[in-house]
Amino acid sequence: MTHGSRPARTWFITGGSPGGFGMAFAEAALEVGDRTVLTARRTEPLREWAQAHGDRVLVLPLDVTDPEQVRAAVSAAQARFDGIDVLVNNAGRGWYGSVEGMDESSVRQMFELNFFAVLSVTRAVLPGMRARGAGWVVNMSSAAGLRGVTGFGYYSAAKHAIEGLTDVLREEVAGLGIRVLAVEPGAFRTQAYAGFATEPIRETIPDYQPMLERVRAAMVEQHGGQPGDPVRGARAVVQAMDRDAPPHRLVLGGAAFDAVTATLDQALADIRASEALSRGADFPTDPQPAR
pLDDT for 104: 92
Q: What is the dihedral of CA 63, 215, 202, 210, to 10 degrees?
A: 180
Residue 152 to residue 107: CA distance in whole angstroms: 11
The yes-or-no answer on residue 98 being catalytic is: no
Residue 37 to residue 87: CA distance in whole angstroms: 10
What does each of the 291 residues of the chain score in pLDDT, given as a tens digit?
Answer: 445 567 899 999 999 988 889 999 999 999 999 999 999 999 999 999 999 999 999 999 999 999 999 999 999 999 999 999 999 999 998 888 999 999 999 999 999 999 999 999 999 999 999 999 999 999 999 999 999 999 999 999 999 999 999 999 999 999 999 999 999 998 877 766 556 656 777 788 999 999 998 988 888 877 766 767 899 999 999 999 999 999 999 999 999 999 999 999 999 999 999 999 999 999 998 767 666
Set 17, 98, 142, 155: catalytic member: 155
Question: Domain for residue 156, yes or no?
Answer: yes
pLDDT for 89: 98
Question: Domain for residue 278, yes or no?
Answer: no
Question: Domain for residue 268, yes or no?
Answer: yes
pLDDT for 1: 44
Angle at 169 between CA 251 and CA 279, to 5 degrees: 80
Set 142, 159, 193, 208: catalytic member: 159
Residue 239 to residue 121: CA distance in whole angstroms: 24
Question: Domain for residue 150, yes or no?
Answer: yes
The yes-or-no answer on residue 17 being catalytic is: no
The yes-or-no answer on residue 141 being catalytic is: yes
pLDDT for 242: 95
Question: Domain for residue 25, yes or no?
Answer: yes
CATH of the domain at 81: 3.40.50.720
pLDDT for 193: 58
Set 17, 98, 120, 141: catalytic member: 141
Residue 84 to residue 75: CA distance in whole angstroms: 10
Q: CB within 8 A of 4, min separation 6: which ones?
A: 242
Range of the domain at 76: 2-272
pTM above 0.85, yes or no: yes
Question: Domain for residue 279, yes or no?
Answer: no
Question: Domain for residue 246, yes or no?
Answer: yes
Asked if 58 contacts 98 with a C-beta cutoff of 8 angstroms, the reply is no
Q: How many domains, the chain? A: 1
Question: Domain for residue 35, yes or no?
Answer: yes
